[in-house]
Each structure stands twice: as C-alpha cells, then as structure tokens.
A and B are shown apart, each in its own frame.
Chain A
C-alpha cells in the first residue's frame, strides 16, 4: 500500500513538472507559411539513382482508361502520355506527343502534328493510328464505359477523329470547346497491343494487376518493371524516351521509381523519418515533427500555398416531390434553406481560423469561392466574404424573423417551428467530423439546434443523388483549374447540382445566369473573355451561397535534398517534371 502511494506521488509530481508550459516562446504571430521558391530553372542533371515513394492504396489495374481512382493513376501517369501536357509550373498547355497543332478559324477543327521518332516501349513507332484507335475504338466505344467518353462528348455529340497521314490527326468538333487542348492530355494507347482485346470484347478487364509488366506498353518516361501484389510497385527508366534535356541527353535521369504500399499516413511518415522513402506529403499535424529534422535528416519542406481540394457545406434546396407527392425537404425547412439570408447567417457563423488552428494545425487558408487561389489565371479574388461574426449572424436571423419566441434558448421561425436540422458527413474522415463539430457549436450559439450524423460515404452519395432526404451535408471535392470540368455541379439540370439536382427549369435567377456562363464559357476561345465569365460565376457563388466553403489545407511536401530540379507547385505537385529530377552527385 505504501509503495503504491509513493509511486502515485512520484507520478503526480513528474506530471506537474512536465506540464509547465514553455516560457519565452515566440508568440503572437502565426508565421507566414508561404515559402519563396524563386523562378524555375531546370539544370542539366546526371544519370542514376532512384526515387522511393509511398502510396496508401494499391493500384487496382494498369488499364489507365478504366481506372476509377487515383491509386491507379498515381502509377500509370508515368507510363502513358497524351498529345498535350499542362505544365505543372505555368499551368499552360504545352506540346507533348504532338509537337504542333493548327486550329481552324471557326475553332472547330484541330489538326495535330505528331512528334517524330516517338517509340512505344516495345520499339514500335507511335503513329496517328494509335491516336485514332484510342478515340474511335476505346474512348467512344459503346461497350467500354469510361469517364473520358464523357469529357469528349460535348452537348451529346462526339468528336470526329480521323487520320490524315502517319503523323497527322484531325479532330472535328461539333461545337467550340475551350478546354479541348487541356483535355487532350488524355493518354494515348498502343493499337497493336490492345486491338485484340477490343475485338474480343475483353478490354475492360485487360491490363489488370496480374498482367506481366512487359505487356504494359506506353510511351512515358518510366516502364512498369515489377508489381508485388499489395506490397510494392517498381518502375524503371525508359531508355528510348523521346524527351531530351538542353544538352541533348535523353531523359529521364532517374533509374527508376519505387512505390511502397502502406495502409495509412502515419506509416508513411514513419518511413520517411527512417529514411526509407524520399518524399512525404506533409499534413498540418506533421509539420512540427518534421521541420526541426530538416537539417539533420537532409530534406527540405516546401509550402506551395493553398491546395486544390475543397470542403463545403451544402444546404438542401430541393423543391421537388417524390412519387407519392410529398416534398423531399419538409416545407418549413425548405423555407429556411432557400432563403439566401439564412444561408448568409450560417456563413457568418463559421469560425474558419479555429478550424484552421484545430484541424489543420494552423496550416490552412480561408476559402470563399469555388476556385482555389492556386488556380492562378482563373482565380478571382473579387468575392463576397463572411468573416466570423456571430452578432452579425444573429442580426440577420432576427431580420428574417428567427427569434426565440418561447425563451427556451433556441430560435423559432415566424410560424413557430424550432430551427432544428441534421448535418451529415463521412464517418471515416476525422477532419470533416472535427469541422462539423466546430460548426455545430457555433450554430448552437446562434440558437440553432443542429445534430451531427456520421454516415458511410456511399450512403451520403445515395442521399444526395437518389433519395434527397437530407438537410445539410459537409462534403468535399478534389479541385482543378479548368472551371468547365465542374459543369456537372454548376449547371442546374445536371445530376451533381447537389443542392437541387436535375432541375427542369432553373429555380433562381442566379442559377439561370450560371447556366448561361457555363454554356458560353465552354465555347469562348478568347482566354480573357473566358476569365471574365468565370470571374462572374465565382462572385455569384460567393454571393448566393449554394455551397458554403470552409478552408483549404496548405500544399506542403517534404523531399530529400539529394534530388535536383525539385520545384513543387500546388497544381503540379512535386513530380510534374519527373523526367528532369536527378540525384545530385556528392561533391
């Protein structure tokens, strides 16, 4: 007994001593996380060495066209290439497998002149036949469902692809399509290897993960050399790659890439710290662990600014009714949800700084509109913002008739209905759970009874697209630069118009305007005129709040210092110029 007391006494004293806070630390200002990388200047590198990476999910197939998730494309992006490429640094379209192209004056015909002397891994020449095969026999094949088909079907009409000669291909569009050149970054596949699968009707299961690596034929800088199921993927250098550096050396410099498959980010971090891997995508909470180790472990942390993925609240404004005639959204709730001032009040109640501090460990940015500031050209800063202000939110609600009529501490609307609803999000995403908890508390401070419900992702999607029985959802999307690729969200007749999908007629004037913007924007080939249209769209979204944005995480990566030509950008990531990354020789 006495021993127990002594032990407890020591334990408590140690705890108290340990828990004295650090004194004299640098306080008051959250340090500016933006790192200045300077301008990109690729130097001529040296051959040799490999890059060790990790991924949290094994590739499901090597058939890039059938890929349904990034775990696959993370690997296949090094193997296959398209006629164009979007530069990871400037985000502009640059020639890739096509060296030049002509555009007709009406903007409907594109003639691509293919690069000479490009070879497939097995030595066969890359020709126009492969391009035509990719489009006419794969992408536009009725029997092969893929998202690429959707990208290239504009207004229900397919593009006509035809061979002019071995190195020239013609694309005839039915209507003008401004993002066409970006979309042409889509991978081209070898006719001579895949046509037999198409003839047999087995393309969808071709080039699965049990295929012999030597069978996977592309034109890219790296070739698949080995796949150990669920464990590791190895890629090796393509010695016949078409790209050369300024000194005429054939790229890439690296001997190969090695992906180790692990189950979660904590393991990725541990491996990076143990110098088993060369790269790590840093989460906010990892920053304090990694930053002090930079010198000792010889790596550099790059903060490239706001990332692209967004997280936002959607408020259900669906005015539709089901087969039995009852509204999807209870009428009293619908009244609140379709009231833009109600939504604005909710927006003023979102404590973004706390969300950034608590969920992102301080490394995040406010988001007010659908484009990330890292989108560069298309980002508009002319947005309506809603800085955290509970008093303002209360005033707005009061103005709309939301008052505590029975002194129970909660608001009721004009008809006396208590303001109460359910907010849902993914059960498996701790960050979203945390964000929703913070938001819920602030809504409670306003006098709104919000309940949190955690569901599996598929159930949420089912509610959003099939049953429409939800109030508010916190969900996220990976983002991009090209606004048009999100048209299925912003057009009111589309199925992903989450707050009120598949409208027969636009429900509001601003939704009508957004429809017009997207119809015009896709056909407007003048970049500045396009930008004006999409700037207006961003302003409309921030002013009418069909979705209420929260925060963007910071795009931070850690890369071993032994590599040269490393230049992380938010759009390109760290490996947009993989063919130029090399291992610096020790001097």
Chain B
C-alpha cells in the first residue's frame, strides 16, 4: 500500500509539470500582457510601463519566464500576482480553503440526499415518488448552473434570506456557534444548491441502478428464501454491495468539485479557486493563473488518489498492482 501511494505521488509530479508547461504556453497565445491595462491611461508614459515590465521580468522571452517560475516552485514560492500586488501564496490559500469548504458542504448534501433517495426509489421502483424524484432532480441537472444561481439569488433577495455582510466578516467573530453556523449557511446556500443539484441527480440514479441490480442477484434470493426479514436483506446485504462502486465516484466527484465551479462562483460572488482562475486568465496575471492551476491540479490528484485507496480498502476483490 505504501509503495503504491508513493508511486502515485511520484508519477503525478512530472504530470503536473507537463500540465504547467501546457498552461503557461497556452497563456502566451493571447497577445498583450497584464500591464496593458495600465498602458491604456493617457497620463502614463511608455517609459514608465517599460520600467514596470523590466521590474516584473515581462520583457524576457516566455520560456525564460517559465523557467523562472519553475525555479520558484522548487523553492515553494508560487510567484507574485501583479494584479493584486501580493505574493500568490497569500491569495491562493484563502481561496483554496473557500473552495474546499464549498466542495465539502456540497458533497455532504449530495450524499445525504442521493443515497437515501436512491435506495427508496430502487425499492419502490416505478412508484409515483420515483417519478417525481426523477423529474425534480433532473431539473437541477438540466439548468445551466449560472442561470440557476441567478434565479436563486433573485428569490433569496425577495424572501429576505440574502446573506448580510461577507463570509467571515466583522460580525462573525461576535456571534455564537449557531449564529456562525447560520451565517455560513446563508452564504453557501445558493452556490451549494446549484452545485449539488446536478450531481445529486446523477448519483441518485446510479445508486438506484446499483440497488436494482443487486436486489435481483442470486444470493439475495437465497437470503430471502432463508426467511430473513426484508429490511435486513436490503440494508444488511444489498446496500453494502451497491455502495462499493459509489466510493470511486465519491473520490472523482470530490476532485471534480475542487477544480472549481468558476461561473457559479462568479454569479454568487463567492471567492473560490474557480473564479480566481477565471479572473486571472482574463487579466493575464500569469503567476496567479499558474498558482491556481497548480493547486487545483494537486487537489485533483489528491482526490483521485483518495478515491483509489478507498476502493482498495472497501472492496477486497481489488488488489493494487
């Protein structure tokens, strides 16, 4: 096991480097640099902009700039965000935590609702409840995320549950535990609902499918024939086998969420990794893009690794090779 994990981590390093190179070179396709915004000011001379270019090493060939960045990474220095005038590491950390918070809460919701409803709809297949649930969960899946977010924001305002202040703003320190809980909930409410609904639908269908499959297998017929109570059959045997394939999905879902839902974050004004990356790409704040991409990549690899490990633990038939 240990060697497997180690090997996976070691392989991901060249992978991440390759991706960083692709990302960096792709960014070069867009003409211009982040300093162009400053250029577009009649009170700034060209000499001033050139001085700034030299200061930030933007006058060098892009391969040279990439090597400087790589050198920095080796020293665990993520570079400097010109747009925010701060080291990238300072910015990325808080954004990554925000995205992590959003992802974990979303995952919690998704699984909280999808598993029980998957079981219910499998056991009561083709019932009215089954059909209603299909339709409702599919609406969530089918609305464009940013559109859904906008609608929710509109209704949240109308019904007065719009979050006041900022996530972790001044009042936060002074309210009690339940106050904090409700405060965070209000901020996360809209982005979580939007992100969860789609995945929930898919997961619920998969759970349902797996349960159906398992419910028909031979050994369950045997268990029933032995006279075991139905509930025991479902929860004792069927469920455990149905859940196995879900574990892999858990890992992939988590890593997928961690890569950020940029547009939804944009609409909800949620300061997460996705929106940071989108904004940085548009502004051509190269180091910030690279930093965000690197962190997302690391989270993705970590998520996949967690998924694979869980699978090995849970399913004794699978062996690492």
Direct contact of A and B (CB under 8 A): yes
Q: Which A residues are within 8 Å of any B CB, using their own CB?
A: 60-61, 66, 68-69, 145-147, 149-151, 153, 204-205, 208-210, 228-232, 260-264, 266-267, 270-271, 274, 276, 428, 456-459, 461-467, 477, 485-489, 495-496
Q: Would you list 26 pairs from A and B whose C-beta atoms are within 8 A, ordered by A residue? A: A60-B85, A61-B85, A66-B85, A68-B37, A145-B48, A145-B51, A145-B52, A150-B44, A153-B45, A209-B86, A210-B86, A228-B169, A229-B94, A231-B170, A232-B170, A262-B166, A271-B164, A428-B282, A457-B40, A458-B283, A459-B30, A459-B31, A461-B32, A461-B36, A465-B39, A496-B40
CB of B34 within 8 Å of the partner chain: yes
The answer to whether A262 and B271 touch across the interface, beta carbons within 8 angstroms, is no
Q: Which residues of chain B have C-beta atoms less than 8 A from A271's C-beta?
A: 164
Tell whether, in the assembled complex, residue A151 and residue B43 are in contact, meaning their CB atoms are under 8 Å apart.
Answer: yes
Across the interface, B43 reaches (CB within 8 A) one of A145, A150, A260, A463, namely A150
Which residues of chain B are within 8 angstroms of A266 by Cβ–Cβ distance? 153
What is the distance, in angstroms, from B281's C-beta to the closest C-beta of chain A?
9
* CB-based contact B31/A60 at 8 Å: no
Q: Enumerate chain A residues within 8 angstroms of B42, measured Cβ to Cβ.
A: 477, 485-489, 496
Complex CA gap A477/B42 in Å reads: 9
Contacts of A263 in B (CB 8 A): 266, 269, 271
At the interface, yes or no: B38 with Cβ under 8 Å from chain A?
yes
Closest to A487 in B: B42
Cα A92 to Cα B272 with chains together (Å): 46
B residues within 8 A CB of A228?
169-170
Establish whether residues A232 and B166, one from each chain, have CB atoms under 8 Å apart when the complex forms.
yes
B84 within 8 A of A: yes
Q: Which of B32, B41, B45, B169 touches A466 (beta carbons < 8 Å)?
A: B32
Q: Kindly state the separation between the CA atoms of A333 and B167 in the bound complex, as whole angstroms.
A: 53
| Chain A residues within an 8 Å CB radius of B168 | 231
Instruction: Give 1 or 0 for each of B73-117: 1 = CB within 8 Å of chain A CB.
Output: 000000000011110001000100000000000000000000000
Q: With A210-B90, A465-B39, A495-B46 as given contacts, are A458 and B51 in contact (CB-CB < 8 Å)? A: no
In the assembly, what is the distance between CA of A456 and CA of B40, in Å? 13
Across the A-B interface, the 9 shortest Cβ-Cβ residue pairs:
A462-B32, A263-B269, A145-B51, A461-B36, A458-B32, A488-B42, A150-B45, A462-B31, A458-B36
User: Taking CB as reference atom, which chain B residue is nearest A148?
Assistant: B43
A155 to chain B: closest CB distance in Å? 12
Question: What is the CB-to-nearest-CB distance from B38 to chain A, in angstroms, rounded to a whole number?
Answer: 5
Contact present for B170 and A457 (CB under 8 Å): no
B interface list, Cβ under 8 A from A: 30-34, 36-49, 51-52, 55, 83-86, 90, 94, 153, 157, 162, 164-170, 266, 269, 271, 282-284
Residues in B with CB closer than 8 Å to A495 are 46
Q: Give the one of B36, B55, B284 with max A CB within 10 A.
A: B36
Partner of B94, one of A230, A459, A464: A230
Please name all residues of chain B whose beta carbon is closer than 8 Å to the beta carbon of A149 when the two chains form the complex.
45, 48
In the bound complex, residues from chain A placing their C-beta under 8 Å from that of B31 are 458-459, 462-463, 466-467
CA distance A134 to B236 in the complex (A): 78
Are B55 and A457 in touch, CB under 8 angstroms? no
Q: Provide the residues of chain B in CB contact with A261, threshold 8 Å.
A: 166
Known: A264-B269, A457-B36. A147 touches B90 (CB 8 A): no
Complex-state Cα separation, A276 to B163, whole angstroms = 11
Collect the chain A residues with CB atoms within 8 Å of residue B164's CB: 271, 274, 276
The docked-state distance in angstroms from the alpha carbon of A107 to that of B39 is: 32
Once the chains are docked, how many angstroms separate the CA of A232 from the CA of B172?
Answer: 13
The residue in chain A whose Cβ has the minimal distance to the Cβ of B284 is A458
Report whether A150 and B48 are in contact in the complex, using a CB–CB cutoff of 8 Å. Answer: yes
A419 to chain B, nearest CB (A): 27
Give Cα A32–Cα B80 distance, bound, in whole angstroms.
50
Q: Identify which of A146, A229, A230 contacts B48 (C-beta below 8 A).
A: A146
Residue of A nearest to B42 (CB): A488
Q: In the assembly, what is the distance between CA of A146 and CA of B284, in Å?
A: 21
A274 with B166, Cβ < 8 A, contacts A150-B48, A496-B42 known: no
CB distance from A20 to the nearest CB of B (A): 23
Q: Which residues of B contact A458 (CB under 8 A)?
A: 30-34, 36-37, 283-284
Residues in B neighbouring A147, C-beta threshold 8 A: 41, 43-45, 48
C-alpha spacing A276/B170, complex, angstroms? 13
A74 to chain B, nearest CB (A): 15
A230 to B275, CA, bound (A): 14
CA distance A459 to B41 in the complex (A): 15
CB contacts (< 8 Å) of B167 on chain A: these are 231
Chain A nearest CB, measured from B215 CB (Å): 30
Tell me which residues across on chain A come within 8 A of B94, comparing CB atoms.
229-230
Q: Are B37's CB and A456's CB within 8 A?
A: no
Inside 8 A of A205's CB, which chain B residues have their CB? 85
In the complex, which of the residues B39, B40, B52, B168 has the most CB atoms of chain A within 10 Å of its own CB atom?
Answer: B40
The residues of B that contact A229 with a CB separation of less than 8 Å are: 94
Tell me which of B39, B43, B170, B266 contacts A461 (CB under 8 A): B39
Q: Which residues of A are found within 8 Å of B33, using beta-carbon distances?
A: 458
User: Which of B55, B85, B90, B164 is most buried by chain A, counting CB atoms within 10 A of its CB?
Assistant: B85
The answer to whether B157 touches A465, judged by C-beta atoms less than 8 angstroms apart, is no
Residues of B within 8 A of A463 (CB): 31
Name the residue on B nearest A146 (C-beta).
B48
Q: Using Cβ atoms and an 8 Å threshold, which residues of chain B touch A485?
A: 42-43
In the assembly, what is the distance between CA of A54 and CA of B315, in Å? 54
Residue of B nearest to A465 (CB): B39
Chain A residues whose CB sits within 8 angstroms of the CB of B30 once the complex forms: 456, 458-459
A210 to chain B, nearest CB (A): 7
In angstroms, how far is the closest chain A Cβ from the Cβ of B39? Answer: 6
Residue in B34, B169, B284 whose CB lies within 8 Å of A231: B169
Cα A298 to Cα B169 with chains together (Å):
26
A262 x B269 contact (CB < 8 A): yes
Q: Which residue of B lies closest to A66 (CB)?
A: B85
Question: Known: A60-B84, A209-B85, A260-B166. Is A465-B36 also a contact (CB below 8 A)?
Answer: yes
